[in-house]
Structure 1
Amino acid sequence: MTNDQLAINLIIMLIVFYFAAFFVAAEFALVQTRKSALESALDAGKGNKRKLRTALKMVQELNEYLSTTQVGVSLSGIILGWIGEGTIELLIVDVLQVTPISTSALHAVGAVLGVLLLTYLEVVLTEIIPKNLSIDMPMKMLMLVVTPLHYFHIIFYPFVWLLNVSAMGVIRLFGLPPADESNDILTQTEILRLSRNAVTGGNLDKNDLLYMQRAFDFNDKVAKDIMVDRTSLEVVDITDSVKTVVNYYLREGFSRFPVVANNDKDKILGYVYVYDLIRQAQVDGTVLVSKVLRTIITAPEVTPIQGLLQQMIKKQTPIVVILDEYGGTSGIVTDKDIYEELFGVVKDEIDDVSSEYIIKTGDHAYRISGKTTLYDFERFFRVKNRSFDEAESVTIAGYLLENYKVKYGDVITIGQFDLKVTEFNRNYIDWLEVTRHTEENVEETTK
């Protein structure tokens, strides 16, 4: 081989290395780029619209364009094997001629080293590097290769068509269906797994993933899964007076009560709303609750939650009676029960005090923030302390500082409670350790 021929072969090898890397990069960019990402970029007007449309077509016709890249990779490999092995062998032999190795052995060593070196260069330069680049930034790589790949597809199309037809024919001989890009549909589990990866990578907010999970669970649940069971259901009788039910509301704190006949939970006639009750009580509290009865709707236990919500919106009612298979009352579902499936537990005025302020640490032992209001303290423990009513302070910390000379570690007894100051900063009580003595007889009231 002359020096000129050697130089030409090296130039050809460099060019083929470039094209081999190009086709591998294009292959992985096509596989890694999501159709949704291209559609989002088009909708947002980001990037070259012509390239984006071409790339979207390629991803939609993935098998055909992957065949183009595979043809390019195969041709590059054939050319490199044909020209590269002999060229590198000759270069190695020229280098090793200074050694005392015989000519026959020299060519054998050169052939082995040539294959190894060519394989190494081909794997590193045309496989691993372009593959990693395309996996790390698929969209950018696809935008770089999309135009030349489009023209290569036109040039190779007859050969690509022949290969695809031949491959599909062989696949059908085995009784298997050909691959179809339109069947590439993700399941809920796959979507959530991809979303978790996106959260880990910083491309998706963790709250978005949380709401996505709740939305999937929301659509999978039925009324029975979220209802308040009939054993926990608080009802009033149709013969009760408005005043009686108002007093019941003051004890229990619920804003709505199902109304039944003969105290039978299987005979729910409607529901009463506390606003109607209080307004009527100002006029005449002795009338029966039938005067302010509102219509209630029913639904079977197997009704999807989405269906329940649609019924509530249509009928403009926040409460639904859930019926079992025999037509009896199984429980109720309120609008709050549905909202909490999507947004988590939402505490309102009738719920217990926030766990950020009062934390149970053991039997009759609690850790309480100094910012807890006196009212919330009474409400949480369901007690009534007359000294709290007379105090000018609003919070438990303010009450203690107003009435006692408090320092760190002090234990102050109020009724059936021992309050120990555990965190005291800048003359303010941050946290208290509270122990309740249940044996003491203290006036208690319920909600």
Structure 2
Amino acid sequence: MTATLAAPAVVAAQRVPVVRAYRFELVKLLSQWRIRVLVLACWVAPALFVAAVSRQSTLPVDTLFGRSMLATGWAGPLVTLGFAGTWALPLLTSVVAGDVFAAEDRLGTWRHLLVAVRSPRRIFAAKALASLTVILSLVAGLAVSSTAGGLLAVGDRPLIGLDGHLLGSADVAGKVLLAWLGVLAPTLALAAIGLLGSVVLGRSPMGLLLPAVVALALQLAQMLPLPVTVRMALPGYAFISWYGLFTRPYQLAPLLIGVVVSLLWAVLATALAYLNFVRRDFTNLAYEGAARRAVTTGLLPLAGLLAVTVVVLATTTGATASGIDQDKVQRSAAVAFAHLYRLQTDQLNRPPVTEQQLQATAACTKGAGRLDPIGPGNDWRCVISWRLPGIEAAGQATYQLDITPDGRYMADGDGPKEVNGYFLVHTAAGDAPNPLWQFDGNVDLLPAKG
């Protein structure tokens, strides 16, 4: 009598689906105390900040729309957006995306993760999606919280645009939403750079700081008098190109260019991070990163994308030099003055007048006429002339303009005092400074169509 032993069935190890790995990575991120603090801060702090500033007599007038925080609640999310693009979003992407892979190197948990998931590709997808989810929730918190704080503290009132015209509630709400959606693209670009740094540099703290360092470099570059094509080819340009949404006609081309360029950077940086990750040797427990390959697998491809983008923009847009010239400044200042003069007329209960009747024109010089009227600077001077119905003599007002390299400017009234000096006017929201005293504007850096 013989016994036959059946061979045990071999069960093939199955890979964990991306959805399950994604949920696991999301729970890991949200279990970290610093991520929880960031989520809480983004959903609460902007509302408190906007509400507190809106109750103060001193406003952040150096910030775009800062002087409007007492006049309308819609200025709050725009002031927050300017701060977020400069400081908050780069730091958030550093903490989340810049550490998502490096944390496994520091803890030495790659072996356990690979045994559980059994696919480096799925691990990368899960970690990238989890970090993206957290970053989007943080951005949403900043937008929702600052908007709620502004509307509750000040109210739903019209906002003065960057060409002096009033934006109604529905109009400004849509523009605020589009502005926040527009900055998602450069945020994704910084997040992708964070993923790349976290993969390539391993446990090195430089991987964690890379998005913030890149963002700081981009901010410094935007402050320099660079050619407009180079400026728009940088992935952080969409952090400031949303200004064009608040002019009429809308300056959409710079925003669209900034969004497309940022998305290209996000795709390329993510692809480079993926290629480096799936080619990594996980058997080396003392892995310290691939800093020697960082130049060839990270810096050079991104530099190549920048060069190609500059060439494409130069050939398609026709933009030259800084994009700021005398004609553009004169046209922008005259349009803004005409809109604001009409607003002042209504506030002072004077006979109504239209922009067509005013026929406002501007004559602008730079450096008291000693310099070529091109490029940014704080030495621009504009004399604006206009006419009133039934009055033969033309009125004139002088403004000193400080124009930044990105095309934004602040006009400061320099007389006559009765027109653009400082005095209070009574509005439905209470006493407010003369709208012609100081105002913000924006010059379109791209050539005018037609």
Structure 1 and Structure 2 fold alike (TM over 0.5): no
**TM-score, L = length of structure 2:** 0.25
**TM-score, L = length of structure 1:** 0.25
Q: Which has the larger radius of gyration?
A: 1
Q: Which protein, 1 or 2, shows the higher relative CO under an 8 Å CA cutoff with sep ≥ 6? A: 2
